[in-house]
Amino acid sequence: MASLDAVALFSSNADAMLQLGKLLESAGFKVASALISDVCDGRCDIGRVMDGHDPSVVIYDIGPPYEKNWTLFEKLRMEPPMRDRRFVLTTMNASSVEDLAGVDGRIYEIVETDSDPGEIVHAVKEAARSRLVRAEQPHAKVADMSNRRVQTERRHGWTSNEVYAKLREKREAVEFERRRGARRADDTDPNHSHAA
């Protein structure tokens, strides 16, 4: 099981990686970090980093050109050691990366690098906490994703009423899917008898 206090940090910028690593360590995380270029060149074994620390969250920086670096990210996260991990992405342009990511349950949050560094630490803490909640309550993932998306939208200029309306819509959709799933389970239950 992944260690909730361990994170992996992959960045294209050595100085930014060092600063963020220190910030995460001061927040109580054990940090394993590597430059993305070292991973791509084979100078850093991604399997050794992931298996050696078993991080609950991976922080990965996506810089320009965004499409090319998104493709690289997709390739790296398909590697066996990266599967089933939660990701917090950092980038200089969150809207570009959000467009590429779409709805992706493994990405907990996308944080702009020029925002308060504390936002990145907060996102990592919440991603680690949500991983624990998801393990205990399998349905928590869906509701958590909608809360995260609304929080991101709020930072991009939504009014409070719009945010709460969107949150209500998403919660209603989640509840509808749960009820629909329960009805399907009843329909396939061999002990469940239908009235003739």
Q: What is the pLDDT of residues 25-42, one digit of tens each?
A: 999 999 999 999 998 898
Examine residue 190 and state whether it is found in any structural domain, yes or no. Answer: no
> What's the pLDDT score for residue 82?
86
Examine residue 149 and state whether it is found in any structural domain, yes or no. Answer: no
> What's the pLDDT score for residue 150?
47
Coil, strand or helix: which one is 159? coil
- CATH of residue 62's domain is 3.40.50.2300
Examine residue 42 and state whether it is found in any structural domain, yes or no. Answer: yes
- Give the HSE-up count for residue 53: Cα atoms under 13 Å, Cβ half-sphere: 24
Give pLDDT tens digits for 139-193.
334 334 445 544 554 444 544 456 556 666 767 777 777 777 776 666 665 555 5
Q: Identify which of 155, 154, 175, 156 has the alpha carbon closest to the alpha carbon of residue 166.
A: 154
> What's the pLDDT score for residue 177?
76
The tally of domains found in the chain comes to 1
Give pLDDT tens digits for 94-150.
989 998 988 887 888 999 888 778 889 999 999 888 755 444 444 334 334 445 544
3-state helix/strand/coil string of 8-63 = EEEECCHHHHHHHHHHHHHCCCEEEEEEHHHHHHCCCCHHHHHHHHCEEEEEEEEC
Examine residue 142 and state whether it is found in any structural domain, yes or no. Answer: no
Tokens, residue 181 = 């799933």
Examine residue 174 and state whether it is found in any structural domain, yes or no. Answer: no
Domain that holds residue 74: 3-135
Examine residue 100 and state whether it is found in any structural domain, yes or no. Answer: yes
